[in-house]
Amino acid sequence: MDREFLTDLFADFGPVTLRRMFSGYGISADGTNFALALRAGLYFRADDQTIPQFEAEGCGPFQYQTRSKTVTVNSYWQLPARLFDDSEELAVWARSALGAAQRAALRKRPRKRAAARKPKAPAKKTAGKKAATKRAAKKAAKTTSRRAPKKKSSS
């Protein structure tokens, strides 16, 4: 699948952004990645709400092989081949995939810290200054004691 083909495929859906990724493209709309176009096919983002659609069509999740095992990525499912010929229905599936990607992004947002936590007490400045002064004095003493005494000239 090349850029031009993918742009035409999503014409009924609306403008998409294509970024090189792995062996194909990551497809996003409004800054949210919702599809992958790889050598193995076109995969749409899926969640608990949309996975039954893919299963009803006999599609499976994205899988890839490592040296030791097969890895299954349940968040991306292969698009049914019949949708390549029906751009209007493909747009409907793309909208639901975008919705799944947006729901996933909402779940990943960091939670705010609880306001009930007590702030740490500030450290005492006087103890810090005294300790720093002692360390500086010790360091100066070490450097002066390490120096070799100057030899007297015999004139």
Residue-level pLDDT, tens digit, the chain, 155 residues? 788 999 999 999 999 999 998 789 999 999 999 999 998 899 999 999 999 999 999 999 999 889 999 999 999 999 999 999 999 999 999 999 999 999 998 887 666 655 555 556 555 555 556 666 777 777 776 665 555 556 665 55
Q: Which residue has the tokens 């009803």?
A: 56
Strands 32-38 and 41-45 turn out to be antiparallel
How far is residue 133 from each of residues 122, 125, 142, 147, measured CA to CA in Å? 20, 12, 14, 22
Closest C-alpha to 24, from 9, 11, 46: 9
What pLDDT is stored for residue 123 in this prediction? Answer: 57
Domains of the chain with CATH codes: 3-106 (3.30.1460.30)
CA–CA separation, 90 and 80 (whole Å): 9
Residue at 86: amino acid letter: D
What pLDDT is stored for residue 97 in this prediction? Answer: 96
Sheet of strand 24-29, all strands in order from the earlier edge strand to the far edge? 17-21, 24-29, 32-38, 41-45, 70-78, 61-65
Hey, how many other C-beta atoms are within 10 angstroms of the C-beta on 98?
A: 23
